[in-house]
Homo-oligomer: A and B are copies of this chain.
Amino acid sequence: MKAKKDSIVSLFQPKSVAIVGASSQPGKIGFSITRNIIQGGFKGKIYPINPKGGAILGVNCYPSISDVKDEIDVATICVPAKFAFDAVKECADKGVKHVQIITSGFSEVGEVELEHKIVEYANSKGTRVLGPNIFGVYSASGNYNSTFSATDILRGNVAILTQSGALGIAMIGKTAVENMGLSAIVSLGNKADIDEADCLDFVMRDQETKVILMYIEGVKDGERFIEAVREATKLKPIVVLKSGRSKRGAMAAASHTGSLAGSDEIFDAIARQTGLLRAESLQEAFNWCKFLAYSPRPKGKNTVIVTNGGGIGVMATDACEKYGVELYDDQLVLKEVFGPATPDFGSTKNPVDITGGAKAADYDLALTAPTRSEDMHATLALYCETATFDAENLAPMIRDTYGKHLASGKPVAYAIVGGKVVEDAVVQLRKMNVPVFPEVYEAVSCMGALYKYTNMLVERDDSVDDAQIDIATINKIIDGALADGRTFLLANEGQAVMKASGVMIPGAGIGKSIDECVRFAEQIGYPVVMKVVSRDILHKSDAGGVALDILNKQEVMDAYEAIMKNCRAYKEDAVIDGIEVCEMVQKGVELIIGARRDPQLGPIVMCGLGGIYVEVMKDVAFRAASMNKKEARSMLSEIRSYPLLLGVRGEEQKDIDIVVDTIIKVATIIRKIPRITDIEINPVVVYEQGKGLKAVDVRIIISKS
């Protein structure tokens, strides 16, 4: 039983806190935490718990938590692991809302049972558990610093949720150096109970938080995670740093569908789908957070580059393509706007080159121009140190033009390259939160993140399309297979699941007479294939039990008799159950459509072109299964071989609408039928527009639970 999520607020803004294992001995964690809470200006009540009594920095200790009469919102547990259960039990029995277990030595070293027991007991009393194996929580709005690391955390507007404690503590240090203040930081550790989804619920509503930074190593409940992230990214940008990109770092994926690509590729797809901004490195994540926290959002896609050097202008152009920043191209407007600031041997084309002779006043002119133009929405300002620039004016010029951009509600990022003067300007301006970088790629990367977030808000559509599927029938098929002792479905059962979901499959029927076979053939439509159905005949072709490419009624009748005759001759006493009449699937573009329940990320779907494309070229796309048709379409268009569906070499376009429908059907199956763990339709043969598709071969894996 999990407590209501509203209560998460009191984890960050408690009214009363206890420290179980508080100590008066400097150097001990139980001392550091008590000191940090007291000296951090916490306004609520503080109850250090120590059986020996005494006082810490003037605050009296209580011998045990049960001696505290007051209600307690958060109890910090810093006793050794072997005493942790008893400590948590006492807290839970008293009705403490949250315990945060600093102590390590649980599931991270294999002590899974102990951790589980603690959480189970706590939850049974309505107590939520943060950790274990954490460094604590800081919240600016709560004036609350229950970490054991830093006494003085720089206050600001970025909230950090971190799975790694060590990195979290280091990040607190780095935030101060980078002048990137924090609104909150929470160490999630083993995530035995409280996880990112819970904490997002607080930080996304927290007034002081403008940007959220998450460091993740693995997700535990993918569906909840995705839902929470979707809610939060609507309100605030979330920058995510997820390690385990590499094969070595990532866990080996279990099923065939997953093994097509590392699960990192899946995480990446889901990050894009849910609007997360995924940074590669810590520095990139910090740059983005700070930029996103202070920059206005662009009101259109037109970016201009202003530079005094051609070389860095070209580099910035390259970076714009890499980070998805679009450059404005109307030569006439550019000339009109930048003409007055550009000498004749410069260029008003974008990148606008005001040349190496430009002084601060020229920059001021050139950088004021786009703030006044309705056609320009964002600026990248580049500066190369020159022999002639009036260096003392560099920082003031940047500060001023930054102010003008802010005033006009337009974002700008600066990249300045050079020696001491430039270095000093970078240090000085970054202290004032002016986005100045010593590297072109860093500046453009920030602008790219800002555009990615802004565009996502405009384009996002979180609606989920549910296909009509016959759940009862599918469950009955699964019941049957499980009763049969199988964890997979037979080919015909798979086809039945497709049929129950409205996915087009090749027609088929087993006739017990010539007339029945003819009826099936006429229903299915010619050409058809006929095959003997007999448990006594394993090698149907050898027995003359197969007839291909049957074109009309007469041929069905002839084939029926020939097959019967051949099979009798092959094995006189064979029991023949009938003859299967199947549609002969015509050639088309072969796709693979699959879905699986990812152990971390929950139900996901994948698609790609079949055969070589998926096996050799690894050309597949992934999405979380809670998706709509628009998303399915974007997923399809992501595969490199997508032009084959649009039609190449004079071919007609393929029936993309029906592929999209089929993806949604498969997504619906994996979401609504929990006992199905894997689906792979391979091949799905797709025909020209309006002519549909055929799900030829379907493999489905099931589980009992």
A residues sitting closer than 8 Å to B (CB atoms) are 32, 104-105, 109, 135, 148-150, 162-167, 169-174, 176-177, 215, 217, 241, 243-249, 280-283, 308-312, 314-315, 317-322, 327, 345, 356, 384-387, 417-423, 438-442, 612, 615-619, 640-641, 643-644, 648-649
Contacts and interface: CB of A to CB of B under 8 A. Distances in A.
A166 B312 contact: yes
Contacts of A308: 166
B440 A317 contact: no
A321 B171 contact: no
Given A309-B167, A311-B215, A419-B176, A440 B387 contact: no
Given A172-B419, A311-B243, A384 B282 contact: no
Contacts of A440: 281-282
B243 A314 contact: yes
A612 B644 contact: yes
Given A314-B217, A321-B246, A641-B616, A166 B384 contact: yes
A313 to B, nearest CB: 9
Contact of A317 (B241, B249, B356): B249
Given A616-B641, A644-B616, A321 B164 contact: no
A170 B384 contact: yes
A420 B177 contact: yes
A308 B612 CA distance: 44
A417 B282 contact: yes
Contacts of A244: 314, 318
Given A170-B418, A215-B311, 10 more contacts: A170-B385, A176-B420, A217-B314, A243-B315, A244-B314, A246-B320, A249-B321, A281-B315, A281-B442, A283-B442
Nearest to A441: B281
A166 B321 contact: no
A387 B165 CA distance: 11
Contacts of A162: 311
A417 B246 contact: no
A163 B104 CA distance: 56
A164 B247 contact: no
Contacts of A421: 173
Contacts of A618: 640
B169 A385 contact: yes
Contacts of A641: 612, 616-617
A208 B327 CA distance: 43
8 contacts: A150-B419, A166-B310, A174-B417, A243-B315, A249-B314, A281-B441, A282-B439, A617-B641
Q: Taking the full assembly, how many copies of this chain does it contain?
A: 2
A177 B423 contact: yes
A61 B535 CA distance: 109
A166 B314 CA distance: 12
A309 B246 contact: no
Contacts of A150: 387, 419
A356 B246 contact: no
Contacts of A169: 356, 384-387, 418
A39 to B, nearest CB: 15
Contacts of A310: 164, 166, 217
B167 A312 contact: yes
B417 A167 contact: yes
Nearest to A32: B387
Contact of A318 (B246, B312, B317): B246
A637 B667 CA distance: 37
A322 to B, nearest CB: 7
B149 A387 contact: yes
Contacts of A322: 245-246
A148 B640 CA distance: 51
Nearest to A173: B419
A618 to B, nearest CB: 8
Contacts of A615: 648-649
Given A282-B440, A311-B167, A345 B245 contact: no
A386 B104 CA distance: 15
A241 B318 CA distance: 12
Contacts of A419: 150, 170, 172-174, 176-177
Instruction: List 5 tightest A-B contacts by C-beta distance, closest first.
Output: A173-B419, A164-B311, A166-B309, A246-B321, A167-B311
**Which of A148, A217, A387 is packed against the most chain B CB atoms within 10 Å?**
A387
A385 B173 contact: yes
B247 A356 contact: no
**Chain B CB within 10 Å, residue with most, of A243, A280, A315, A641:** A315
Contacts of A309: 164, 166-167, 170
A246 B317 contact: yes
A282 B247 contact: no
Nearest to A149: B387
A420 B152 CA distance: 12
Nearest to A616: B643
Nearest to A177: B423
A129 to B, nearest CB: 21
A318 B217 CA distance: 12
A617 B616 contact: no
Nearest to A646: B616
Contacts of A249: 314, 317-318, 321
Contacts of A105: 345
B612 A640 contact: no
Nearest to A643: B616
Contacts of A171: 417
A452 B245 CA distance: 21
The winner among A417, A438, A619 for most chain B CB atoms within 10 A is A417
Nearest to A415: B282
Nearest to A162: B311
